[in-house]
Structure 1
Amino acid sequence: MSTIKKVALGSQGLEVPQQGLGCMGMTTIAGGDIYGKANEAESISTIHRALEIGIDFLDTADLYGPLLNERLVAKAIKGNRDQYTIATKFGYEIDDQEQLTWGFNGRPEYVNKAIDRSLKNLGTDYIDLYYLHRVDPNTPIEETVGAMAELVKAGKVRYIGLSEVSAETIKRANKIHPITAVQSEYSLFEREAETNGVLETLNELGIGFVAYSPLGRGFISGDIKSPDDFAADDFRRTIPRFQGDNFYKNLELLKQIQEIAVSKGVTPSQLALAWVISKGIVAIPGTKRIKYIEENAAASNIILSAEEQLKLESIIPVGVTAGSRYDDSQMQFVNA
């Protein structure tokens, strides 16, 4: 039985559960593990279990693998496609040999190429929500979104979204075609969207906000006690927030969150998810294990008082977290 409430995502007609499932960690990217080893059968079982408890909103991207993640999702939803709301993303350029070039491509001809490839990989004839993963600095956003709008007309895409974009880019894009959702990293440890005009702009324009990494890339779970706990090829080793002194400064902040969680009889992860959901934001925590999809789902039933919300936010005021959320080479393409 579903425990997850459905909400409107944006103002264009799309409805999704308050909580979706981020699928990125279920496969590698360019041969490297993101958050430790994944098992395909276990990942597919997690997607099936998610549907049983009302989490039918799956988030993937052609970048993940590349392409392997979409193909895994296809296996999981086969014969049951209409039960799921599928979001995928494009924009990191993938060549004809299925290799990442690590460039960005938002040109109209590439938009058409990318959608057809994703439709094939996902085993479907339409995508519910199609995001531009990162803005191509060499292509005006109007051209990219114009091509995405044509996909809606063609019936290949139902709604369009953007990821990691600035308030100004959102405004420009929305003039070309209504944007349904913007995705960005957002959690107790990452609240820049509150101060850079993004959340304000989304509210003004009736665009939904989807928070990826709402558990601070797993940090809020409390399972990671030192930077050495990450596997050698774990993506988080490249993130300044998890390196050296920054890690331990953030660990001190986490301890205060853990104290509040204990007092409420919930896990720190559940508390952090409940906080994101209390903001009216759709969270897409990633997991590849049934245990955690069930734990995350239970967070939707946690009610936080205004006092509890303020207490959590006062522990980690905007900008207090030590270290940036990507390395310098990737940060330049965030909030673009």
Structure 2
Amino acid sequence: MITFTYSPTDIKVCIESSNDLGCTIWDTVDIYGNGTNEIFLSRVRNEVFLSFSKSGIANSEFKATLRCAYKVHPIAEIQIEYSPWTLDIETNGIMEAYHELGKYKSTDDKFIQHFQGNNFVVIPDARKIKRLEENVEAVTVNFGSEELFEIRQIINSIEIV
């Protein structure tokens, strides 16, 4: 959500459309502006069904306490940046730790629309409903092993400075 570019009506429509498309976890990170998103969500919470309120704990990038936290309460999500420029989760143990704890609990879990693969949920930017719909549709894209190999070769050939 980017509240400084939307009117309250636009944001409400965006939230409702996101929910209708199966996107039920929203990142309201501080970078968007001094808690503006949180303030707006508190105003519309009674008008919009926020399914993430029933999910559980969500956290960002913690390694040593992941298993400990899971013993207290199941982890609903973990937010970690993973891109061609930040591949460290492949080697620092986070992917393995979360993979074990993030297994499906029922056969219905695997049909949640916002999952891509077995481990990742993409948090896209969606400034218009059309873009939101395109982002949700992206879960139907599947890469073959040759395509994934080619992508990995390109990533590995780039020197990050």
Please give the TM-score of this superposition, normalised by the length of structure 1.
0.38
Alpha-carbon spacing, 1:279–1:321, altered in 2? closer, same or farther (3 Å): farther
The one-letter amino acid of 2:41's match is V
Find the partner of 1:161 among 58, 61, 71. Answer: 58
Shift of residue 197, structure 1, vs aligned partner: 0.7
Find the partner of 2:18 among 37, 45, 50. Answer: 50
The one-letter amino acid of 1:161's match is A
Alpha-carbon spacing, 1:184–1:57, altered in 2? closer, same or farther (3 Å): same
Paired residues of 1:48 and 1:76 also in contact (CA < 8 A): no
Quick one: distance in 2 between partners of 1:287 and 1:128?
24
Uncovered stretches (5+) of structure 1, i.e. residues with no partner:
1-22, 28-36, 87-126, 130-158, 209-275, 324-336
Alpha-carbon spacing, 1:42–1:303, altered in 2? closer, same or farther (3 Å): same
Shift of residue 42, structure 1, vs aligned partner: 3.0
1:251-303 deviation line (CA, Å, top 9, x unaligned): xxxxxxxxxxxxxxxxxxxxxxxxx8235312221333223212212211212
Shift of residue 199, structure 1, vs aligned partner: 0.4
Find the partner of 2:94 among 198, 201, 214. Answer: 198
- The 5-angstrom pairing of residues 1-336 of structure 1 reads 23=1, 26-27=2-3, 38-40=5-7, 41-61=9-29, 65-81=33-49, 84-86=50-52, 127-129=53-55, 159-166=56-63, 168-204=64-100, 206-207=101-102, 277-317=116-156, 320=158, 322-323=160-161
SS in 2 for 1:304: coil
Uncovered stretches (5+) of structure 2, i.e. residues with no partner:
104-114
SS in 1 for 2:80: strand
SS in 2 for 1:180: strand
Quick one: distance in 2 between partners of 1:194 and 1:296?
25
Alpha-carbon spacing, 1:65–1:280, altered in 2? closer, same or farther (3 Å): same
Paired residues of 1:42 and 1:288 also in contact (CA < 8 A): no
Shift of residue 305, structure 1, vs aligned partner: 1.4
SS in 1 for 2:26: strand
1:62-86 deviation line (CA, Å, top 9, x unaligned): 77543321122345554232xx323
Alignment identity in percent? 28
1:122-175 deviation line (CA, Å, top 9, x unaligned): xxxxx335xxxxxxxxxxxxxxxxxxxxxxxxxxxxx11321112x23233334
Question: Which structure has the larger Rg over C-alpha atoms?
Answer: 1
Alpha-carbon spacing, 1:202–1:64, altered in 2? closer, same or farther (3 Å): same
SS in 2 for 1:200: helix
Alpha-carbon spacing, 1:182–1:54, altered in 2? closer, same or farther (3 Å): closer
Quick one: distance in 2 between partners of 1:297 and 1:43?
18
Please give the TM-score of this superposition, normalised by the length of structure 2.
0.72
RMSD: 2.9
SS in 2 for 1:162: strand
Paired residues of 2:16 and 2:48 also in contact (CA < 8 A): no
Quick one: distance in 1 between partners of 2:134 and 2:116?
15
Paired residues of 1:190 and 1:321 also in contact (CA < 8 A): no
Name whichever structure is richer in strand by fraction. 1
Quick one: distance in 1 between partners of 2:80 and 2:135?
19
Paired residues of 1:60 and 1:69 also in contact (CA < 8 A): yes
Quick one: distance in 1 between partners of 2:11 and 2:25?
15
